[in-house]
Chain A
Amino acid sequence: MKQVPSEYQLDALREIVNTGVGKAAASLNEMLEAHIELQVPSVTLFQLEELSAELRDNAEAEIACVQLDFHGSFAGTAALVFPPASAVQLVATLTGEDPEAPYLDGVMAGTLNEVGNILINGVVGTIGNILDRPFEFSVPNYVEGKLDELLQQKNPGGELTVLLIRTRFRVQDRQIEGNIFLVFELGSFGDFFRTLNGL
């Protein structure tokens, strides 16, 4: 069942995402010495099957991913995805380590988990905030793997709606790209919009 969001709904989504990402940026800047500048994210909606088409080669790519499950009046998973090269750059910049260092792997999981978590929380937290609904969350998880496998894992065979938020940020002259995928279980996305409409 394909949902076609209305202009109002898309506007609401964009506003929520902007606010969420903005909050995350403020949080990160408060915490880190390196100044992070988040650019206005772009927001797209599509069904999970369309994911491969949308991302083309990236769907097969190995990526670094921070995941967070949520459920309440609707359910889903938020996943923040970085191509490994971007992930390494980001961690190196934030920790002051050398990007070529072989021991960086040990450092990456922890740092990415925290930073990714702040970004996701910005968006997911704002959704909960604006919709004024209680949610329960899983403990955030850091994994590496193929994108389509990671997303499918959450709901094998299910029909899923994906909210793709493309974020780009600058840290000390480095341009880093990350994508936040919000995957909603079937029916959930309808609930999300119904709640939105009810505001």
Chain B
Amino acid sequence: MGKILVVDDSAFARLNICRILKSAGHEIFEAANGREGLDLAMALKPDCILSDLLMPEMDGIDFLAALKEQRIVLPVIVLTADIQETKKRQCLDFGAAGFLQKPPQKEELLAQIETALSAGR
């Protein structure tokens, strides 16, 4: 049971993710790009963030970097369609806690969220 911030420019993608998370009883907040995500992260202090990579205005990598800069320390799981080794490494370098390929499978997504939340507690 955690406060989770979902950052993705596609309403459809957010819809799917939120449905899965809500079914496990988590509280959801949504942002459409990195900039909004940053604002909400600072305001709401969620337990965990789920972020897409390819977004307008501020993409996933910049978002991760900005979080680091603002010293916002909380687990970020990256959820993206194209999982290339280079992108994966980049995200982990910027402090991502996990890396998932879209579309998310329910079990795997919930499992990674659990791990992220328990690490925080």
Instruction: State the CA gap A22–B101 with chains docked (Å).
Output: 9
B54 A18 Cβ-Cβ under 8 A? yes
Interface 9-residue window, one of B39-47, B75-83, B113-121 = B75-83
Cross-interface CB contact of A40 among B54, B83, B85, cutoff 8 Å: B54
Contacts known (A11-B10, A15-B10, A23-B101); A199 close to B84, Cβ less than 8 A: no
Is there a chain A Cβ closer than 8 Å to B89's Cβ?
Answer: no
B12 A22 Cβ-Cβ under 8 A? no
A22 — nearest CB in chain B belongs to which residue?
B81
Majority-rule SS of A interface residues? helix
B103 A11 Cβ-Cβ under 8 A? no
Chain B interface (Cβ < 8 Å from any Cβ of A): 10-13, 15-16, 54, 80-85, 101-103
Chain A interface (Cβ < 8 Å from any Cβ of B): 8, 11-12, 14-16, 18-23, 25-26, 29, 37-38, 40, 126, 129-130, 199
Q: How far is the CB of A43 from chain B (nearest CB, A)?
A: 12
A25 B84 Cβ-Cβ under 8 A? yes
Residues of A close to B11: CB separation below 8 A: 8, 11
Cross-interface CB contact of A22 among B15, B16, B80, B85, cutoff 8 Å: B80
Q: How far is the CB of B69 from chain A (nearest CB, A)?
A: 26
Contacts A19-B102, A21-B81, A126-B103 known; 19 new A-B pairs at CB < 8 A: A8-B11, A11-B10, A12-B12, A14-B10, A15-B10, A15-B12, A15-B13, A18-B54, A20-B81, A21-B82, A22-B80, A23-B81, A23-B82, A25-B82, A29-B85, A40-B54, A130-B16, A130-B103, A199-B15
B81 A18 Cβ-Cβ under 8 A? yes
Q: How far is the CB of A29 from chain B (nearest CB, A)?
A: 6
A40 — nearest CB in chain B belongs to which residue?
B54
A26 B83 Cβ-Cβ under 8 A? yes
Instruction: State the CA gap A20–B12 with chains docked (Å).
Output: 14
**Of A22, A29, A126, most B-chain CB atoms within 10 Å:** A22
A20 — nearest CB in chain B belongs to which residue?
B81
Instruction: State the CA gap A14–B82 with chains docked (Å).
Output: 14
Cross-interface CB contact of B82 among A8, A15, A38, A199, cutoff 8 Å: A38
